[in-house]
Amino acid sequence: MADDTETIGLLAGLGPDIAADLLKQAQRRTIRTDEVLFTAGQPACSVHVLACGAAKLMQTTPGGARVIVKYVRPGEVFGSPALLDKFYPTDAVAVTECVELQWPSELVRTVICRHPRVALNVIGDLEARLREMEDRLRDLSNEPVEHRLARAILKLVETFGQQTGEGIEIPFPVSRQDLADLIGSTLPTVSRTLSAWEAQRQIRRARRRLVIADVATVARVLYEETIPEPKPRRSHRRAARR
Amino acid sequence: MADDTETIGLLAGLGPDIAADLLKQAQRRTIRTDEVLFTAGQPACSVHVLACGAAKLMQTTPGGARVIVKYVRPGEVFGSPALLDKFYPTDAVAVTECVELQWPSELVRTVICRHPRVALNVIGDLEARLREMEDRLRDLSNEPVEHRLARAILKLVETFGQQTGEGIEIPFPVSRQDLADLIGSTLPTVSRTLSAWEAQRQIRRARRRLVIADVATVARVLYEETIPEPKPRRSHRRAARR
DNA sequence: CGCCGAGTTGATCAGGCTCAACAAATGTGG
DNA sequence: CCACATTTGTTGAGCCTGATCAACTCGGCG
């Protein structure tokens, strides 16, 4: 398992011996698909890293609406609120069989004191997530569903995509509802758009998995009919028309 | 200026002497209203803290759409991407006369090594911003404009609000366009809603400032007509109707 | 074989965006 | 201090994206 050292962002730049030592101190847990790693509202007392597999972080509002905040990929930190003794803000659910590492938060805090590099790694991770959220916020404010959907899929592709004979496959089930929750839309709307793309052979489904046959064409959705708009300062919302 | 020590989250928990020392090393800059602190895309080489005043962080898309990512309040860190030698992801614009402190990023990195507490402070700040973004994402996906607007205003109130004779005032100009960019809507829509609230005396305007006369009633917007929805699991979007 | 959750698809309707013309407020120079 | 220019806000009319509701299909499973 020593090769985790290379994957895990948290331990980057630490020197193999130290990293290995920290790894040994981690609590290791295997979680089956659809099982819950933690729940929103629970007190967060350890910092988590996904060693392998994939998980989704999501919130459910009292009204029943759901939002997928993020898909976690191997090597990423999640549950960092633990460092501040807060509560988990989201549910975390395994979407694959996966392996998770946990360190109790006080331990991590002392590690940070001894190896401040770890703190920088955490900061880097958080910073990246913040950027990601800013992007999504922009999309949600300005882009139509079709664009948001394309972008969400492209993102899944570059984060989790695996080349197969049929195209690039997302190696875990992504339901239409999931996609809807990811882009702030609804199942029927997503279904419609995807049906169209399926008809055009840009995507397909293989045993519960999403397969993107033609990434370039999906990406093109984002650029076609983006009005060059000669006017110096258009005001707002929906750059596309016609 | 030693009293900055108490306000500045970055320096929390450091001991007055150390904090004072760090403060001395900061580059201090005064910025006038509407001036730019930094621009999206610039290489970020120092970490900023707002000593006093207020600033907004915003992005402008090529299409001309704008998003206000955050209003920065005194004591907050902004421009932390510098720690990783990245680029500023947003523009930062002063909305008041304000004073900013800057530390070159390498300096901050060494400070972090000597005083890991600083790293925890940064992490705390980022974590809080992440939570905030998650909330906004949820709102944008699920709530109608009216709710988002109410929430945005309430947030401004609790972050910047100052009690005055007329009610609680936001101590800097917030245009309808700003509010629109904050909640992902458009100027005309915001204007309409606000006109209504103005007519009902919940808010007013005094010399370019927003004054919230009746916070409770604005807050009530969020709760009235939230359907109790007996059904165990409604699917999605817009909990409110009728 | 019948059930159940997930997906499809049609019909309908409304929130809120767009366009546009006008009114207020702020600022500028004489 | 007033006329004009510029920016910011107001308000009406119309339309379109995408949500909602609903009926039906499909694939998997006990």
Across chain B, what does the average pLDDT equal? 89
Give Cα B133 to chain centroid, integer Å. Answer: 10
8 Å CB contact of B235 and A187: yes
Report the alpha-carbon distance of residue B156 to residue B152 in Å, rounded: 6
Query: Between the CA of A213 and the C1' of D26, what is the distance in angstroms?
Result: 23
Is there contact between A33 and strand D, defined as CB under 7 Å from any strand atom? Answer: no
Residue B233 beta carbon within 7 A of nucleic strand D: no
- Contact predicate B113/A116, CB 8 Å: yes
Contact B239 A134 (CB under 8 A): no
- Which tens digits make up the pLDDT trace of A6-39? 788 888 888 889 999 999 999 999 999 999 999 9
The shortest CB-CB distance from A127 to any of B84, B131, B233 is to B84
Band (pLDDT 50/70/90 cuts) for residue B234 is very low
Is 90 exceeded by the pLDDT of residue B214?
yes
The answer to whether strand C lies under 7 Å from the CB of residue B189 is yes
Q: Any idea which fold B143-223 has?
A: Arc Repressor Mutant, subunit A (1.10.10)
Q: Which nucleotides of D are covered by protein (CB under 7 A)?
A: 8-13, 17-22, 28
Confidence of residue B166 (pLDDT cuts 50, 70, 90): confident
Instruction: Give the neighbor-by-neighbor strand order of the sheet with B27-31.
Output: B27-31, B98-104, B46-52, B77-78
| Sign of the torsion angle spanned by Cα atoms A125, B73, B53, B18 | negative
Contact assignment for B236 to A180 by CB distance below 8 Å: yes
Contact B119 A116 (CB under 8 A): yes
| SS3 sequence of chain A | CCCHHHHCHHHCCCCHHHHHHHHHHCEEEEECCCCEEECCCCECCEEEEEEECCEEEEEECCCCCEEEEEEECCCCEECHHHHHCCECCCEEEECCCEEEEEEEHHHHHHHHHHCHHHHHHHHHHHHHHHHHHHHHHHHHHHCCHHHHHHHHHHHHHHHHCEEECCEEEEEEECCHHHHHHHHCCCHHHHHHHHHHHHHCCCEEEECCEEEECCHHHHHHCCCCCCCCCCCCCCCCCCCCCC
**pTM, two decimal places:** 0.89
List of chain A residues whose C-beta atoms are within 8 Å of the C-beta of residue B130: 126, 129-130, 133
Report residue A234's pLDDT band, with 50, 70 and 90 as the boundaries.
very low
Report pLDDT for A79: 87
**What DSSP element (H or E) covers B155?**
helix B145-160
> Gap from B162 CA to D3 C1', in Å?
38
Model confidence over A137-187: pLDDT tens digits? 999 999 999 999 999 999 999 999 999 988 999 999 999 999 999 999 999
How far is the alpha carbon of B48 from chain A, nearest alpha carbon, in Å?
Answer: 15
How far lies B51's CA from each of B73, B78, B108, in Å? 9, 11, 17
Q: What angle do CA B11, B13, B15 make, to 5 degrees?
A: 85
CB contact under 8 A, A67 and B141: yes
Confidence of residue B80 (pLDDT cuts 50, 70, 90): confident
Please report which confidence band the pLDDT of residue A77 belongs to, taking 50, 70 and 90 as the band edges. Answer: very high
Q: Cβ contacts (< 8 Å) between B127 and chain A: which residues?
A: 80-81, 83-84, 86, 126
B213 pLDDT higher than 90: yes
Beta carbons of A80 and B127 less than 8 Å apart: yes
- Which has the higher per-residue pLDDT, A208 or A28? A28
pLDDT tier, B2 (very low <50, low <70, confident <90, very high otherwise): very low
Average pLDDT over residues A101-123: 93
Query: A237–B65: do the CB atoms touch at under 8 Å?
Result: yes
pLDDT band at A225 (very low <50, low <70, confident <90, very high): low
- Band (pLDDT 50/70/90 cuts) for residue A239 is very low
Q: Per-domain residue ranges for chain B? A: 4-140, 143-223
Domain A4-140 classified CATH 2.60.120.10?
yes
Share of chain A above pLDDT 90, in %: 78
**Which of the 8 DSSP states describes residue B78?**
E
Q: Which residue of A has its CA nearest to B57?
A: A134
- Placement of tokens 């309040």 in the chain: B73
Strand C contact at CB of residue B169, distance < 7 A: no
Give the CA diameter of chain A.
60
For strand C, the positions having any atom within 7 A of a protein Cβ are 6-11, 15-20, 25-26
Q: Which residue of B has its CA nearest to A122?
A: B123
Cα–Cα distance measured from residue B18 to residue B45, given in angstroms and rounded to the nearest whole number: 23
The residue-averaged pLDDT of A184-201 equals 96
Q: Model confidence at A123, in pLDDT bands (50, 70, 90)?
A: very high
Q: Give the CA B2 to C1' C19 distance in Å.
A: 55
CB of B147 nearer than 7 A to strand D: no
Cα–Cα nearest to B105, from B85, B132, B89, B90? B85
pLDDT for B3 beyond 60? no
